[in-house]
Amino acid sequence: QGKRPIIRGTTSIDRDNERIRITIYDQGFGESQVLTEEIYHIIFEIIRHSSPKIFESIEKWYSHRLKKGLDLTWQIHEVFTELMVQEEECPGSTDLPRRVVKYAKKTFSTANTVSEAVIEKIMSP
């Protein structure tokens, strides 16, 4: 358990315009990992709606972390995104399952496409 981080950005979905909006606040401007973290919030949603097995791995991992004393106020997507930033900076430095990290990075790559059905699920309320 540690201190809660300062919120330096936010990600939201504008369903009217069908756009993803990422906002970086003043305290996050000078830190490149803030944008990476916000992008991984979207990656988390893509995984949730496109890969049930990978998402189940994330849920099991998160449940295990809670049992080991993870701060209960940290939501699953917050922990995932923060640790993915750590993985970007120092590969293999977290306890995220390797297949989850590999899948998330693959989702983040330019070679990946997201199906229209998944985009619709993410955009729907």
How does pLDDT run across 85-94, given as a tens digit for each residue? Answer: 999 999 999 9
Q: Which two three-digit tokens encode residue 79?
A: 């922990």
What one-character DSSP code corresponds to residue 15?
Answer: T
Residue 62 included in any domain: yes
CA angle, corner 76, sides to 67 and 6, nearest 5? 105
Angle at 114 between CA 40 and CA 51, to 5 degrees: 70
- Is residue 52 included in any domain, yes or no? yes
pTM: 0.80
> Which pLDDT tens digit goes with each residue over 95-123?
999 999 999 999 878 888 888 888 888 87
The answer to whether 84 touches 96, Cβ cutoff 8 Å, is: yes
Specify if 1 maps to a domain.
no
Does some domain include residue 2? no
b/e per residue, 69-84, with b = 16+ CB within 10 A? eeeeebebbbbbbbbb
Question: Domain range for residue 106?
Answer: 9-123
Instruction: Please indicate, yes or no, if residue 32 is contained in any of the structural domains.
Output: yes
Q: Bigger pLDDT: 27 or 104?
A: 104
Whether residue 4 is contained in a domain is answered as: no
- Quote the number of domains for the chain: 1
